[in-house]
Structure 1
Amino acid sequence: MSLFRETADVSVRPAVPGDDVAMTAIQVRAWRTAHDDVLGADVLDALDGVRMREQWAAAISSPPGPGFAVLVACAGADVVGFAAVAPGQLVALEVEPGHQRGGHGSRLLSAAVDRLRRDGADEVVTWVLDGDTAREAFLGGSGLGPDGRTRTLATGPRDVVERRWVAEI
């Protein structure tokens, strides 16, 4: 009998400069996988990866104020997902499609909620694109639910609807 157990080398940590490169690639791949039908190839093909990376780099290096943070999920040394929070809000949560269903999303959501609590929030709010049934199932299983509010975003060629999901924390 071995005294050593196999354990997965997974973690969540605050994002550091340089993580923006992996985060941008993850976001583009995750959106192509989850939102192709709703957003359409034309919108996804028009994503400006350089601008996205610059925005993530700024969010990591120069958060706009208290309560803003970016977290990354790692498998070993590799960044495989990320979450971003603003006061009371989960702004983004994406996991590399090849690493989904491995617990990274749950770890990111838990760390994001911990950060929101630490910053004084008593609820978490996030927005879910219509048709993203996988995200709805994930959030619903994590205790969030839709509150009936919607917003419409103009993506250029088409408008898309997002629904607000909330939970007390």
Structure 2
Amino acid sequence: MADAGVHLATAADLPEIVRIHRETWRLAYAQLLPPEVLDTLDTDEAWGLAVQQGAVLKAVEGEWIVGFVVASKAPDDEVAKADGSLPEDAATTALLSVLVEPRWGRRGHGTRLVAEACRRLSEAGATRGIAWVPEADKASRNFYERLGWTGDGTVRTLDASGRPLREVRVSGPLEIRLGD
């Protein structure tokens, strides 16, 4: 494998990050989401703001960007319990979303991305991480379980252009160990 690493994403990386997001979701979620939802994924503007805020890390292998993670403080509505109340650690809970292009999968990029994001979040005062995963996405759920993150019992159902999409929230520690 060529040199692999994780770096802060820059504005120059936006076209590739947007491409990876759109193409990977179209492949991975074609059975879960209708085409009109997949055709209108986040805009370049939304990604630009996340990059500008320093919330996006990119995984590289050689000269290629192969994946990314978006990581920041979790908004209250993302970390709230099912009854709407906030847990005691709401102010120090981080929200992560990781995506690696399938052709670059199973090479440790996802784990490196999450480990680096968690390291940075922990240094900034975060104590726990959460992520939302489609309930039917076994691969992503298994990925988080290997990191020590498990479902915390909270689910939500999103309206995906008339098709319900059920997501489970996983939660776990920010201490991610890389394989030996």
TM-score range, shorter chain: 0.7 to 0.9
Can you list the C-alpha shifts for 1:113-137, whole angstroms capped at 9, x where unaligned? 1111011111111111121000011
1:102-156 deviations in whole A, cap 9, x for unaligned? 1110100101111110111111111111210000111101110001101121222
Code of the aligned partner of 1:82: F
Could you say which residue in structure 2 is the equivalent of 1:27? 21
1:57 aligns with 2:48: yes
Residues 83-162 of structure 1 mapped to structure 2, 5 A cutoff: 83-87=69-73, 88-162=93-167
Partner residue of 1:13?
Answer: 7
Q: Which amino acid aligns with 1:129?
A: P
The CA distance in 1 between the partners of 2:169 and 2:22, in whole Å, is 22
Q: Residue in 2 aligned with 1:4? A: none
Q: Which runs of 5+ in 1 are unaligned?
A: 1-6
- Give secondary structure in 1 for the equivalent of 2:31: helix
TM-score (norm 2): 0.80
Counterpart in the other structure of 1:79: 65
Q: Is the 8 A contact 2:96 2:131 kept in 1?
A: yes
CA displacement at 1:8 relative to structure 2: 2.8
Partner amino acid, structure 2, of 1:156: S
Q: Which runs of 5+ in 2 are unaligned?
A: 74-92, 175-180
Equivalent pairs, count: 155
Structure 1 match to 2:82:
none
Question: How far is the alpha carbon of 1:78 from its aligned partner?
Answer: 1.5
> Over aligned residue pairs, what C-alpha RMSD do you find?
1.6
Contact 2:36/2:161 (8 A) holds in 1: no
* 8 A contact 2:68–2:113 mirrored in 1: yes
Q: Structure 1 residue 90: deviation in Å? A: 3.3
Moved beyond 2 Å, runs of 4+: 40-43, 88-91
Residue 40 of structure 2 is matched in structure 1 by 47
Q: Secondary structure of 2:29's partner?
A: helix
> TM-score, normalization: structure 1?
0.85
